[in-house]
Amino acid sequence: MELSTSITRSQSTAVSKDATTTVTTRKRIPASPAKVWTSLLFYEELGILPPLVLRLLLPVPTGTEGLVSAVGDEVRCNYRTGYLVKRITALQQDVNYEFEIIKQSLTLGRGIILSGGRYLLRDCGDGTTELSVETNFRSSRSPRWFWRIFERPTCHAFHNYLLESIGRRIDSQPGD
């Protein structure tokens, strides 16, 4: 399995200290897009305690409430110290699953506001699928150049844990 990452910042005429940051992590998974699609999970749905490093850096998830199968559906993602509400904004089966954060009652890094994310699947044509996990957030912490040093690796660690968990879920399912 291959792993790659990319980071972009929203384009604007005036650079703001709380401009949206997008962090993307990709992994090539030995499964069809359809199988990967049926294995997608939110971090809050994994049902297992995250590794120590994530428990130290991020709120610990405790589960979800609600179903998300159509655009407009909402799910409440619960944590030990608060919750998020996610709304599905785009669904294209086996290709794209996008959501926005419509409510955040959760402290993240003393100034980070989550705005959304997505899963993007790309059929590699050789029986594998590239799965991208994307997180969008704004941070008011200053100086930005300093805090990005910590925010990006933390986000990639979170993504890698999620991608590995999805991969294990696929591996535990019967073959295609």
The predicted-structure confidence for 2-52, as pLDDT tens digits, reads as follows: 444 434 333 333 334 458 999 999 999 999 999 999 999 999 999 899 999
7 lies in some domain: no
144 lies in some domain: yes
136 lies in some domain: yes
143 lies in some domain: yes
Identity of the amino acid at 84: L
108 lies in some domain: yes
Identity of the amino acid at 27: K
Predicted local distance difference test score (pLDDT) of residue 5: 40
To the nearest whole percent, how much of the chain has pLDDT over 90?
76
Residues 6+ apart with CB under 8 A from 125: none
The predicted-structure confidence for 87-118, as pLDDT tens digits, reads as follows: 999 999 999 999 999 999 998 877 899 999 99
Predicted local distance difference test score (pLDDT) of residue 176: 53
CATH number at residue 162: 3.30.530.20
**Single pTM value for the model:** 0.85
3 lies in some domain: no
Q: How many domains does the chain have?
A: 1
CA triple 81-57-73, angle to 5 deg: 55
CA triple 8-74-58, angle to 5 deg: 50
Domain that holds residue 48: 22-171
